[in-house]
């Protein structure tokens, strides 16, 4: 086999294996979420109600998938709503991060978060939760108007030692079960519903 044909075959095989791993991971998270529905009392999850800046320090610090739920209704274009509720509150955002606590602070306590990062001469996150169509980097202050009139809770699925690619699969598995939350608007796109349907057949036990 010519050299170029050999390397082309290697790349094609790698891509196929990588795609299968991604699909199996998404289906694995789909199964996890169906068996252990995310809730404040479900095993494996960490729940925090955000009532003060200090309460944010109880959010899981490390790697994981996080969900933000609130009775605040985002002023965004409607789509099929996420069906999951936590403590009766609709999940309006889900994301993943290496440092979940810091990421959640960037979303919900943005002014203090940005100020602290600048005091430390560090770069803050600039792509944060947006609950309307205004321009800018997003981020809210949960204890300022109009948001302080509403409840805010965070649920985390810790995923220690995970990669960003693996946690993306957690996001897509979540969406497959519950639907994508209204304010989630990440750049990475997951497998199509058709690809997942085909994968369920291909990877079915037996």
Question: Rounded distance, CA 11 to CA 105, Å?
Answer: 40
Residues 6+ apart with CB under 8 A from 159: 63, 64, 65, 96, 166, 167, 170
Choose among 163, 150, 194: nearest CA to 64.
163
Q: Give 1 or 101, the one with higher predicted confidence.
A: 101
Average pLDDT (35-49) is: 98
Question: What order do you get walking across the sheet with 89-97 strand by strand?
Answer: 46-49, 152-158, 64-70, 89-97, 85-86
Question: Rounded distance, CA 3 to CA 126, Å?
Answer: 45
Question: Rounded distance, CA 68 to CA 94, Å?
Answer: 6
Question: Rounded distance, CA 196 to CA 172, Å?
Answer: 10
Parallel, antiparallel or unpaired: strands 152-158 and 85-86 = unpaired
Per-residue pLDDT tens over the stretch 176-197? 999 999 999 877 788 999 999 9
Inform me whether the pLDDT recorded for 135 exceeds 90. no
Please report the DSSP string for 89-156 in residue order: EEEEEEEEESSHHHHHHHHHBHHHHHHHHHHTT-PPP-S---SSS-SS----BTTSTTGGGS-EEEEE
Residue 64 near residue 94, CB atoms below 8 Å: no
* Paired tokens of 105: 């602070």
Residue 22 near residue 191, CB atoms below 8 Å: yes
Per-residue pLDDT tens over the stretch 62-105? 999 999 999 999 888 776 779 999 999 999 999 999 999 999 99
Predicted pLDDT at 81 = 76
- The per-residue pLDDT of the chain, averaged, comes to 93
User: Per-domain residue ranges for the chain?
Assistant: 3-202
């Amino acid at each position: 086999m010519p050299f170029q044909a050999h390397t082309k075959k290697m790349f094609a095989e790698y891509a196929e294996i990588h795609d299968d791993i991604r699909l199996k991971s998404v289906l694995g998270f789909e199964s996890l979420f169906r068996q252990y529905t995310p809730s404040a009392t479900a095993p494996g999850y960490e729940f925090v109600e955000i009532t003060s800046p200090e309460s944010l320090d109880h959010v899981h610090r490390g790697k994981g998938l996080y969900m933000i739920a609130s009775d605040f209704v985002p002023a965004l274009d409607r789509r099929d709503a996420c069906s999951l509720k936590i403590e009766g509150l609709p999940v309006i955002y889900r994301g993943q991060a290496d440092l979940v606590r810091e990421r959640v602070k960037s979303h919900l306590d943005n002014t203090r978060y940005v100020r602290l990062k600048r005091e430390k001469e560090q770069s803050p996150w600039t792509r944060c939760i947006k609950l309307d169509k205004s321009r800018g980097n997003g981020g809210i202050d949960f204890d300022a108007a109009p948001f302080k009139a509403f409840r805010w809770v965070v649920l985390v699925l810790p995923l220690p030692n995970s990669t960003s690619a693996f946690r993306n699969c957690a996001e897509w598995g979540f969406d497959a079960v519950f639907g994508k939350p209204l304010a989630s608007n990440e750049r990475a796109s997951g497998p199509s519903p058709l690809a997942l349907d085909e994968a369920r057949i291909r990877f079915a036990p037996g």
